[in-house]
Amino acid sequence: MTPLHPIEKKIIHAFKEGDSLSPGKIASISALDQSSVMRYLDYLSAKGLLGISENVEESISLGSEGIEYAKKGLPERRAVEFLKKQPNTEAPITKLNDELKDEASIAIGWLIKKKQAAAEKGVVRLIGADDSGGVTKTLDEELLNYSKLVS
């Protein structure tokens, strides 16, 4: 067996602190930078002196736009709420533009795609509304609502 490099010795010595250590913890104990620790852990593993196991953690978080929509609602939901207040749950696109500004076209597009509204002759009309004029919340809205609960 070849002699151990001084860095390899420092790493092995760090295991006096515990049987299972993260590269960051080893770097902290041994006063080495983490990239050196990672490199020498591979060397030690190749020599059969230690085993490496990886745990991958995935997380999902809202971006700035998602945070904004979680606070004020998706454009299409705001359009639904606006249209519910209009006679026959419909309004001219120009009126919807006045209400939603830059997001009116986004809202109309999503409402049509989600089969919640139709647009004809410059008028947007809710479709598939229940007796109270409500439109069921979609999965993306439920996720935004959930994110408000856990943040």
| pTM, full prediction | 0.54
Asked if 34 and 76 sit in the same domain, the reply is no
Residue 41 falls inside a structural domain:
yes
Q: Is 75 helix (H, G, I), strand (E, B) or coil?
A: helix
125 falls within a domain: yes
Residues 16 and 76 in one domain: no
Strand locations in the chain (E): 90-92, 117-120, 123-126
Number of domains in the chain: 2
Together in a domain, 69 and 135: yes
* Tens-digit pLDDT profile for residues 26-75: 999 999 999 999 999 999 999 999 999 888 888 878 888 888 888 888 99
Verify that 70 and 142 share a domain, yes or no.
yes
Confidence of residue 151 (pLDDT cuts 50, 70, 90): low
Does position 133 have pLDDT exceeding 80, yes or no? no
Mean pLDDT score, 11-19: 89
Q: What is the pLDDT of residues 70-124, one digit of tens each?
A: 888 899 989 999 998 999 889 999 999 999 999 999 999 999 998 889 999 999 9
> What is the domain extent for residue 104?
64-150
The CATH number for 127's domain is 1.10.10
* Residues 97-105: contacts with CB under 8 Å, at least 24 apart: 100/75, 103/75, 103/78, 104/75, 104/79
Distance of CA 8 to the CA centre of its chain: 39
Look at residue 83 in the predicted model and tell me its pLDDT.
92
What residues contact 59, with CB distance under 8 A and at least 6 apart? none
Helices marked H in the chain — which ranges?
6-14, 23-30, 34-46, 64-72, 75-84, 93-100, 104-113, 139-150
Look-up: residue for tokens 């983490």?
34
